Amino acid sequence: MIKTRFSLKTKLLLFSITILLIPWIGYKYVRGMETFLKSSMEEALGNRAHSLAIVLQQHVDLLSNQAAININNESEHLYLRPLDNPIQLDGYTDDWHFSQDLFQEYSEQHIIKKSSDHKPGSLHFRQATGSYKQHLFAVFKVNDNQITYHNPNNNRIDDCDHLRIALLTPQGKFQRYYLSTVAPGRIIAQLMPNDPDNNTPIKAETRIQGAWQETAEGYTLEIRLPISMIGSKLSFAINDVDDPQAGHSGSIIGSASTEHLSALSTIKVPSSGLEKLLNTLGMDSSRIWVIDKNKRVLALSGNLQAVTDTDASQRSVPTKLLSLFYRLILQQPAASFEDILSGVSKLNGREIETALSGKPTVSWRETSDQNATILTATHPVMSHNAVIGAVMLEQNSQRILLMQNRAMEELINLSIPVFLGGTLLIVLFAGRLTSRISHLRNQTEQAITSDGKVAHVFNASNSNDEIGDLSRTFSDLLQRLHQYNRYLESMASKLSHELRTPLSVVRSSLDNLEQVQPESTNNTYLLRAKEGLERLNNILNRLSEASRLEQAIQQADKVTVDLSALLQSCVAGYQTAYPQHPFKLTISEQNHKVLAAPDLIVQMLDKLVTNAIDFSQADTTIEIRLDRTDDQWIRLSIFNQGPPLPVEMQENLFDSMISVRPTNTRSSHLGLGLYIVRLIIEFHQGRVEARNMDTPDGVVFMLYFKPI
């Protein structure tokens, strides 16, 4: 099984990912905010509808001014819708196309006067009115099987197809106008006498202009007249004359009769007062409708479209880049949507009916293309405890989406630096921790040598945290270990020192005994006691040898020593000292000069040679070789054919009190010989190693010296 090893740094980095939970929670929160925003928007819009209704109740005159007259027949009322753009007075209906719902169909049931030769279905028209700035525009798409033009030679103006207009001026004057033409093109109205039977025009009225254009089905007539001419009533009627020779007016279809003031249709002229009032109350991306109790639109203000990020242009380049990024990840409000209500002149629906029955409502609807959701609030407008109309407020909920996006952007803008900063901090912190721990590990590692000795006690960290604590504990531990090691190493010399006094008592007592009783001199027991005393003394000397050597090392001076000369001299000495062992000395041709204390080197050689002699049988050769290693160290090897070293002891063979000798030998060995060798070779910056050899079997001790 492979075990993956995670470093502390990796672990902390993994944990730092939990910081990412913060934006996630924020995201959840923002999403949850939608419900809250929606309900608060509903409440706000409802409140606004309510206050708007109250405002309108205080200006009830603005409403009643236009809707006071009770109209039961819908077609008898002309609704004047403000138009978004001016109408080109050319007789073509292209510029009305967006106001299709304004068109009202007038056909058989609107016949005011039927001529004798009227053929059913031969005449009907679609009509729309609208206002732009100070003018009223009207269009008539007339289906006529036979178009009759005015004969300029004829005095009567009603010998042809023509449009009749009757109105009540603001001054309360009843006026009638006829519009006819001799050919398609621009026309102007003729003021007619109030008497409907008098068909001779009084004068041309240039303020009322029109354009006549023939179509496949009949003709189209566009007219324009200044609103200032119109009071509270206005009627249009199309007069269809099929036979100019008949000498009488043809069939008439229209909103109402144009003959008498009492019969005229009512008209709602956009009131600047109400519009102004609504405009001041209006709000971005919301629309206010005011309707009368017949659900007719009295006033309209505001626009649902155009919810845009207003401050986008003021952003700096990096935030623009960011917003580009947000555009990719966040749902953006649709740039446009289809608004079926934008052109209606009459509002239908449950909300309106509820409002007109006296109850406010708040509801949501989706646009037909599902691009946006619209919030609608309605409120009845009361006057004298009776519902006289209603207000309807609409608001685009895209605002909520926009707000959500804003919040999301804020969240991301905030959490990215927090995440980056947090991660950076964690990485730095982890790095610091790791480096401190590695430092401590390296210190600990260096403090103990490969053979388990305390090389030096490192300085403990003085920081207050756990790692500092660990460092202090380690340092303390090493200190104690060091002290214990020192105690062990010095024990030999301490022991010898302490034993010397009682030994001295024994020795001086025995000496005294010998002198007092001369006959005891050769007593077996006395001899044995003295022999034991000698051995004890020997042991003590050996014990203190190491500590004395340490002192000697401190005082020793190094001089240039030729190891080959020294070795030759020593081996000659060993040969006389140990005649039972043949010595074989091999010295290579190279230079073997080292910087050393010769006495100590000799002492070291003595130990190794004694060791070699002790471990090998008599008559076996002790081979001593002096040569160079491949990396130019001087190597002095002493080989004996003794039993191999136990493998487990090879590492600490050179430590104090370590001996591999059989314990039953008579002479005492304390394992200090090789320890002394090590002390001396370390003093010379060299090293020593022991190795078992195969051919011939034996053990070799190798000393390595650094050449000069």
Partner 1 sequence: MPKTIAIVEDEPSIRENYADALRRQGYQVNTYANGRDAHAAFQQALPDLVLLDIGLEDEIDGGFDLCRDLRGQSATLPIIFLTARDSDFDTVAGLRLGADDYLTKDVSLPQLMARISALFRRLEAVQQSDQDEKDNILVRADLSLDLDRLCAHWQQQAIDLTLTEFWIVHALALHPGHVKNREQLMQDANIFVDDSTITSHIKRIRKKFEGIDTAFDAIDTVYGMGYRWNA
Binding site for partner 1 (CB under 8 A): 497, 500-501, 503-505, 507-509, 511-512, 515-516, 537, 540-542, 544-545, 547-549, 551-552, 555, 566, 569-574, 576-577, 598-599, 602-603, 605-606
Burial class (CB in 10 A: 0-12, 13-18, 19+), 435: exposed
Omega prior to 184 cis, within 30 of 0: no
- The H or E element spanning position 509 is helix 466-516
* Least distance from partner 1 to the Cβ atom of residue 495, Å: 12
Looking at the Cβ atoms of 477 and 556, the one nearer to partner 1 is 556
* Least distance from partner 1 to the Cβ atom of residue 582, Å: 16
The conformation of residue 689, written as its DSSP 8-state character, comes to: E
Looking at the Cβ atoms of 149 and 583, the one nearer to partner 1 is 583
Bridge-based pairing state of the strands 203-214 and 185-192: antiparallel
The C-alpha torsion from 438 through 439 and 443 to 449, rounded to 10°, is 40
Residue 241 contacts residue 161 (beta carbons within 8 Å): yes
* Least distance from partner 1 to the Cβ atom of residue 677, Å: 14
Looking at the Cβ atoms of 19 and 510, the one nearer to partner 1 is 510
Looking at the Cβ atoms of 161 and 489, the one nearer to partner 1 is 489
For 384, the 3-state DSSP assignment is: coil
- The H or E element spanning position 328 is helix 317-329
Burial class (CB in 10 A: 0-12, 13-18, 19+), 675: buried
Could you give the CA distance from residue 148 to residue 182 in angstroms, rounded to a whole number?
Answer: 9
* Least distance from partner 1 to the Cβ atom of residue 631, Å: 28
Looking at the Cβ atoms of 382 and 602, the one nearer to partner 1 is 602
Residue 231 contacts residue 264 (beta carbons within 8 Å): no
* Least distance from partner 1 to the Cβ atom of residue 497, Å: 6
Task: Give one word for 517, left, alpha or beta, with left for phi > 0 and alpha for psi -120 to 50.
Answer: beta
End-to-end CA separation in angstroms for the chain = 53
Looking at the Cβ atoms of 269 and 605, the one nearer to partner 1 is 605
* Least distance from partner 1 to the Cβ atom of residue 584, Å: 15
* Least distance from partner 1 to the Cβ atom of residue 516, Å: 8
Looking at the Cβ atoms of 288 and 566, the one nearer to partner 1 is 566
Taking residue 538's Cβ as centre, other Cβ atoms within 10 Å add up to 12
Looking at the Cβ atoms of 108 and 606, the one nearer to partner 1 is 606
* Least distance from partner 1 to the Cβ atom of residue 708, Å: 19
* Least distance from partner 1 to the Cβ atom of residue 548, Å: 5
Burial class (CB in 10 A: 0-12, 13-18, 19+), 568: middle
Could you give the CA distance from residue 165 to residue 175 in angstroms, rounded to a whole number?
Answer: 8
- What is the Cα Rg of the chain in Å? 62
Residues 6+ positions from 231 with CB-CB distance below 8 Å: 167, 168, 169, 170, 171, 172
Secondary structure tally for the chain: helices H, strands E:
12, 26
Could you give the CA distance from residue 30 to residue 331 in angstroms, rounded to a whole number?
Answer: 13
Looking at the Cβ atoms of 9 and 507, the one nearer to partner 1 is 507
Looking at the Cβ atoms of 438 and 504, the one nearer to partner 1 is 504
* Least distance from partner 1 to the Cβ atom of residue 648, Å: 31
Looking at the Cβ atoms of 207 and 500, the one nearer to partner 1 is 500
Residue 175 contacts residue 208 (beta carbons within 8 Å): no
Looking at the Cβ atoms of 402 and 597, the one nearer to partner 1 is 597
* Least distance from partner 1 to the Cβ atom of residue 638, Å: 13
* Least distance from partner 1 to the Cβ atom of residue 621, Å: 17
Residue 188 contacts residue 210 (beta carbons within 8 Å): yes
